[in-house]
Structure 1
Amino acid sequence: MSDRSWFYASNGQQQGPYPEAQLRDLIARGTVRADTLVWSEGMAGWQKAGEIPGLMSGGARPPAMPQAGAPPMTGTGGYGGGGVDGPLSVDLPLMPLLGRFLLLMIGALLIIPSPWTSTSFYQWMASRTTVPGRPNFAFTGQPLDIWYVFIAMGVMSYVGSYDSTLQLISIPVEAFLAWMLLRWVFSHLASNGQPLPIAFNGSVWTFIGWQVLMVISFITIIGWAWVIAAWMRWICRNISGTRREVIFTGSGLEILWRTIVFSVACFFIIPIPWVLRWYNRWFISQFALVERTA
């Protein structure tokens, strides 16, 4: 079986062909799941990967996918990653991304629907994201978990635009709300249906400081891009609960020119879906998992 080439179905489209070693890598990463339809030459028709003997387990590409029950714990208290390191990736179908992004914006503008539209967007994005060593990555938060945070963020966005004095007051308040939102997101991540013991432990005061620095950096016209890069690295350093380290590899210059291209393309309206996907794919790919050095 090891010399065979495989196809698999994703979002109604045929992917492949892939050598079996590469298919097993996709299985280990959670891209191909037990209920994913696959086909190889000699098969009568498409079949679920989990129904093909020897495909989902065994083989020459470790680690094997976790079986029923919680993933094994490491001595450091995090989930065993099987030594699988590398960048995150995301598969974003063009029109579904645009539709969900528009719903996210509409929910934010109307405020009241924002807990539902935002949570749905996070759940969809997580389901499209591939994390090395974390099969079937998911976000399990529910709209009513912290509905008051979403409502407050919507209200503050209007308050900040009403008056310059109120805008200054809204900056630390919005930063505090974003800090609460970030902690909630990290505490509701899962893999293979099992909660991940991940937490964001960054100080709220430091987070507010980053937000203030971001606002000040706009005076320099371009300095905000380097602030974002440093801010992302600080957030990564304050993620706990996994034996692997989360890093951000993007630079300020990369963020700057991509944001400029994105903004200019959005001005012409028609390219929006393509640049939205391009920008999100790149940004997510700048996060990676590596073995901790200490």
Structure 2
Amino acid sequence: MASWFYASEGKQQGPYPEGQFRDLVAQGIVRPDTLVWSEGMAGWQKAAEIPGLIGGGGAPPMMPAGGPPMMGGRGYGGGSLSADFSAFGLLGRAIVFVIGMLLVIPAPWVAVWFYKYVTSHIQVPGRPNFGFAGQPMDIWWALMANALLTYAGATGISYAPLLATIVNAFLAWVILRWIVANLSSNGERLPLSFQGSAIGYVGWYLLMLISTITIIGWAWVLAYWMRWICRNTEGTRREIVFSGSGWQILWRTVVFSLACSFIIPIPWMLRWYGNWYVAQFGLVDRAAAAARGY
């Protein structure tokens, strides 16, 4: 039986079984001007343009197979990601995540639990039911070692903090590759992989730490680091881009930090910052991305 998707307020809804979807039509939730898509259609169409969908009748005609093109991409077949984190949901999970990492042994389980929550609240145009398929024991050693090294700075060995930083950067590279490889849609892993080198990642990691000396320079380093990560994520016909600027990252981080100093606003500020950060990632046609300088 066919599954249907529809667009509402710029977000993709679905999938819905044929019967349930026609109930949405009958209830007026899906209107004649609503963009809809089902397997077998070449692209999104207004519901009124599909024979038999509005006002009864038979099923829509089948068209060449393929996934729905990304919405909101100005003709590039792309669009921006969006997130709908809840204030206390994100904060509560972030606290448990930090505690789990500090306790080391629970690190693999709390990491997977946290990544599943985050991805389930991110909407990727053309990728319904975005999620994370990784399992705690996939790279348990990297997650536990990453957590354990947070204590290295407390040792009395002078070279331990620097060595721990480099090793931690390498482990972060391993974890990033694992996360990208386990992103999923409708329960199926996406054919994505992170191809950035370990040396390159460690270099960006160290540059990020050094840039904190400048007080504000870290924000621009972070913006370019995100662009480097996006350029080195492969497996999709569309380019993954990061559009946030150093200035945008800086002023939002300052506002976030100042507001959080009052304690009470923390849940809402974390949600505000997290939703904005996710929205800076998008998908565009690779040729268009090159033309726009990404």
Task: Name the TM-score class by shorter chain.
Answer: 0.7 to 0.9
For these two proteins, the number of residue pairs brought into alignment is 253
The 5-angstrom pairing of residues 162-181 of structure 1 reads 162-163=155-156, 165-181=159-175
Deviation at 1:56, TM superposition (A): 6.4
Aligned-residue offset at 1:37 = 9.2
Tell me: CA distance 1:186–1:160, structure 2 relative to 1, closer, same or farther (3 Å): same
Q: Say whether residues 1:145 and 2:138 are aligned partners.
A: yes
Q: Would you say 1:210 and 2:204 are equivalent positions?
A: yes
Do structure 1's residue 32 and structure 2's residue 14 form an aligned pair? yes
Q: Could you list the per-position Cα deviations for residues 161-180 of structure 1 after superposition, in whole angstroms to 9, with x for gaps in the alignment?
A: 43553111111111100000
CA deviation string 1:140-190 (max 9, x = no partner): 001111111111011111113435531111111111000000000010111
Unaligned segments of structure 2, at least 5 residues: 31-35, 51-64, 71-75
1:257 aligned onto 2:242: no
2:45 matched residue in structure 1: 60
How far does residue 266 in structure 1 lie from its aligned partner after superposition?
A: 1.8
In the superposition, the TM-score normalised over structure 2's length comes to 0.77
Partner of 2:125: 132
Give the secondary structure class of the aligned counterpart of 2:283.
strand
- Offset at residue 95 of structure 1 (A): 2.0
- Structure 1 match to 2:187: 193
TM-score, normalisation: structure 1: 0.77
Question: Are the counterparts in 2 of residues 109 and 154 from structure 1 also a CA contact under 8 Å?
Answer: yes
Match of 2:57 in 1: none
CA contact (8 A) 2:82 2:123 kept: yes
Amino acid at match of 1:244: R
For the structure 1 residues 42 and 176, does the alpha-carbon distance in structure 2 shift closer, same or farther, using more than 3 Å as the test? closer
User: For residues 259 and 82 of structure 2, what CA distance do their matches in structure 1 show?
Assistant: 23
Q: CA deviation digits over 1:52-107, x for unaligned, max 9?
A: xxx76478249x9xxxxxxx67xxxxx88566311100111222212211111111
Gaps of 5+ in 1: 1-22, 50-54, 65-71, 74-78
User: Could you tell me which of 256, 266, 284 is aligned with 1:290?
Assistant: 284
| Alignment check: 8 A CA contact 1:24 1:61 kept | no
Tell me which residue corresponds to 2:218.
Answer: 224
C-alpha change, 1:238 and 1:40, in structure 2 (3 Å) is closer
